[in-house]
Structure 1
Amino acid sequence: MAGRSTVSSASPLAKGFWARAAARLGDFFPRLNVRRMAVIVRKELLVLLCNRVSRMLIIVPPLMQIVIFGWAATMEVRNVDVAVLNYDSGRWSRDILHAIEGSPTFRGVGHLQGEGQIRPAIDQQKALFVLVFDEEFSRRIDRGEPAEAQVILDGRRSNAAQIAAYYLERMVAQVAAATPRGEAMQSAAAEVPRLDIRMRCWFNPNLEFQWFFLPNLIGMLSFMLGLVVTGLSVAREREVGTFDQLLVSPAIPTEIALAKLVPGCLIGMIHGTIFLLISVFGFGVPFTGSVVLLYLAMLVFAAAAGGVGLMVSSLSATQQQAFLGAFTVGVPCILISGSVTPVMNMPLFLQHASQLNPLRHFTAITQGVFLKDITVAAAAVSLGKITCISIVTVGVAVWMFRRKA
């Protein structure tokens, strides 16, 4: 009996606690009316697609960017112009020049007549570097002595100049191996065991830059679209004067906020599909993974981008502020996502901060789906992080929208 009295006395307290908790959850997550949300979604899509300027801004720039980036964005060094000042009349300098002229990396070789032409060639960017041979270059090689050639690089294009200098160094090494001294050293080295190193690049055997960049571009453009489309929605309502009318409609603020997210997600998914088709069929990037996994990640990622955009929109009073706020948030997220530069090369605090960036984890999934045939189990960690970020961003965005409403 004592036990029964204890349970019966504690039961009202427990019921009161759970009743209060349910009431609080009901206040924050009220029962949503899908029909009212669909009406708001339809209105948002009509505003975006029926306006000629908005339609052009949504469709044309992203397509232009993926085509332009696919052809123009490359870290490879091609079509390099070279200037040569050759005081040597021997065969070895001519062999090096023939190797340069026959290489697809170098476009043209200009011959200078004196040292006074070196500075104008570099200043006017007529050549990426100038190669200088002295008059004793071939004679030293024939005598078996060390021979040197001077290379003057254009420091304004430091990355391209260093890569081109590396190509030149490889050519000079090949020509040096054909000299009598080089042949003697090779024959002597052949008598002792030597280490044979053979390089193999997994997932991208030819080191095609487009294979690396275009999958990342899907995430970058979809992220910016989600930010801009969702970010401008609430600010446009305030600027036009229809925001108050929307609030007095039968839809509650939570339904309005969630409905504002849907158009951005739909447009992001559509553009992601277009980018996928252009990358695979237009640029020949291999797609080896699961389409279902890619679209699942794309959907969750679009929700996260829309949540961030809705937060920016809730803080903005005009469309100009929302547009600038979207770029203020979007550009740093792209830079620390690993889409452009490796995350491991960044300072440690930025590496930790990038874990909060949904674009970093979506980039890992897109690269895995395109090139590595990544499994669902391998992508589960990145997909879980995007899901957590999406839940937090959408929840905070809805809360901020309700506070502003």
Structure 2
Amino acid sequence: MSVLPPPLDLRRMLTIVRKELLVLLSNRTSRFLIIVPPLLQIVVFGWAATMEVRNVDVAVLSRDSGLWSREILHRLEGAPTFRSVVHLEGAEAVRPVLDARKALFVLVFDEEFSRNVERAQPAEVQVILDGRRSNAAQIAASYLSQIVEDVARTTPAGLAARTAREGAANGVFRLDVRTRCWFNPNLEFQWFFLPNLIGMLSLMLGLVVTGLSVAREREVGTFDQLLVSPATPTEIALAKLVPGCLVGLAHGTIFLLITVFGFGVPFNGSVALLYAAMLVFSLAAGGVGLMVSSLSSTQQQAFLGAFTVGVPCILISGAVTPVMNMPVFLQHASQLNPLRHFTTLCQGVFLKDITLASALLNLGKIGLISVAAVSVAVWMFRRRT
């Protein structure tokens, strides 16, 4: 004969939730840790974290005194990407400049550069990049290529080629290609990264707040007292999830206001949809945090466990690097990561007013992960008690 579990008592659960909130907010150190660091992170990341390359220092070794090398240097000095252009006296100065990181790359013009340009002959420019900063060097080299191409169009050979193309295309259909970026026309990195940061910080808060609660009870010796209370282990476990969800929603609101009004990131979607996603996502993060807490005996173990789980979740979520660039097995594994689906939904809500079908698909995936995470967390909590 099977015995049905006793029904959940909402009043007992609310009493435990109230106790958890009082413990969390009555301690000055706890208040500081859940309020100040997340706010500092979103502000610092919003200003400092960028994949754009700016304030680049460049060194130039020019053996040519002609018009076209000077034109390239003039445009290089006028570009906002490049901060300073250092002129070198000889080839022996190239290595020390790169070794000391005084320049991201060195641009070298030979004696025949401008003369070859005037003769419509191949003219070469050597670019020596600092491979220790590979990503920045590649982006800066791309900027430099655009400048050189623009100058090439104004040379006699470039003008003649353009005239020939226009003459050949006179009276013939011409294909005019124009590039337009949807959802982020100016390719602002903050527009992409700050919505992702809401999910990343909410995940870490949910893991840490929920993960420390049970470990704290064990460490200070009040866990046994909690077990002899009228509340069942299931009620205790579910009540432990609520403070983390409330903290996640509160911080999500603050992050939303800072992102929209502080950094000017557009918000084109539904506020209700975003809050529904934050609530379900907070439950998933709290469930994973409760799993970590159930396996930890001290707060230090719970804190380290939260970062052990949280950092890989962030790395394979697509919030930092594209999922499509990862190995196939990681792309499949990321489907079990709630942050991946929350990131997709959050970017859609902010930048492109995501369709209801796509929003419900991602919200459904987060919901399934939340149910699984909470169920496993409650089961693990009951086993430990």
Q: In which range does the TM-score fall when normalised by the shorter chain?
A: over 0.9
Alignment of 1:170-185 (within 5 A): 170-185=146-161
Counterpart of 2:31 in structure 1 is: 55
From 3, 13, 21, the equivalent of 1:45 is 21
Alignment of 1:135-154 (within 5 A): 135-154=111-130
Counterpart of 2:189 in structure 1 is: 209
> Match for 1:230: what amino acid?
T
Displacement of 1:35 in angstroms is 1.2
Check if 1:281 corresponds to 2:261: yes
Alignment of 1:82-93 (within 5 A): 82-93=58-69
C-alpha distance in 2, partners of 1:333/1:66? 18
> Match for 1:50: what amino acid?
S
Larger deviation, residues 358-367 vs 139-148: 139-148
Displacement of 1:282 in angstroms is 0.2
Counterpart of 1:342 in structure 2 is: 322
Check if 1:387 corresponds to 2:367: yes
Counterpart of 2:105 in structure 1 is: 129
Alignment of 1:80-119 (within 5 A): 80-119=56-95
**TM-score normalised by structure 2 residue count:** 0.97
Check if 1:157 corresponds to 2:133: yes
Check if 1:376 corresponds to 2:352: no
Check if 1:270 corresponds to 2:250: yes
> Match for 1:35: what amino acid?
R
Displacement of 1:260 in angstroms is 0.4
Contact 1:293-1:376 at 8 Å conserved across structures: no
> Match for 2:42: what amino acid?
I
Displacement of 1:378 in angstroms is 2.3
Displacement of 1:278 in angstroms is 0.3
SS at 2:127 equivalent: strand
SS at 1:146 equivalent: coil
Counterpart of 2:96 in structure 1 is: 120
C-alpha distance in 2, partners of 1:181/1:353? 54
Whichever of the two has the greater Rg, that structure is: 1
From 271, 274, 280, the equivalent of 1:291 is 271
From 168, 183, 201, the equivalent of 2:144 is 168
C-alpha distance in 2, partners of 1:326/1:46? 22
> Match for 2:60: what amino acid?
V
C-alpha distance in 1, partners of 2:117/2:341? 55
From 295, 312, 318, the equivalent of 1:332 is 312
C-alpha distance in 1, partners of 2:186/2:137? 22
Contact 1:289-1:375 at 8 Å conserved across structures: no
4+ runs of 1 displaced by more than 3 Å?
Answer: none
Check if 1:70 corresponds to 2:70: no
List runs of 5+ in structure 2 lacking aligned partners: none
Displacement of 1:303 in angstroms is 0.4
> Match for 2:263: what amino acid?
F
SS at 2:106 equivalent: strand
Larger deviation, residues 298-307 vs 374-383: 374-383
Displacement of 1:174 in angstroms is 1.1
The alignment yields a C-alpha RMSD, in angstroms, of: 1.0
> Match for 2:199: what amino acid?
G
> Match for 2:370: what amino acid?
S
SS at 1:284 equivalent: coil
SS at 1:191 equivalent: helix
CA deviation map 1:247-268 (0-9, x unaligned) = 0111111111011000000000
Displacement of 1:377 in angstroms is 2.6
**TM-score normalised by structure 1 residue count:** 0.93
> Match for 1:268: what amino acid?
G
C-alpha distance in 2, partners of 1:56/1:244? 28
C-alpha distance in 1, partners of 2:251/2:196? 14
C-alpha distance in 1, partners of 2:127/2:311? 38
Paired residue total: 381
Counterpart of 2:345 in structure 1 is: 365
Check if 1:400 corresponds to 2:376: no
C-alpha distance in 2, partners of 1:372/1:96? 39
C-alpha distance in 2, partners of 1:296/1:175? 52
Displacement of 1:374 in angstroms is 1.5
Alignment of 1:172-251 (within 5 A): 172-193=148-169, 194-251=174-231
Counterpart of 1:307 in structure 2 is: 287
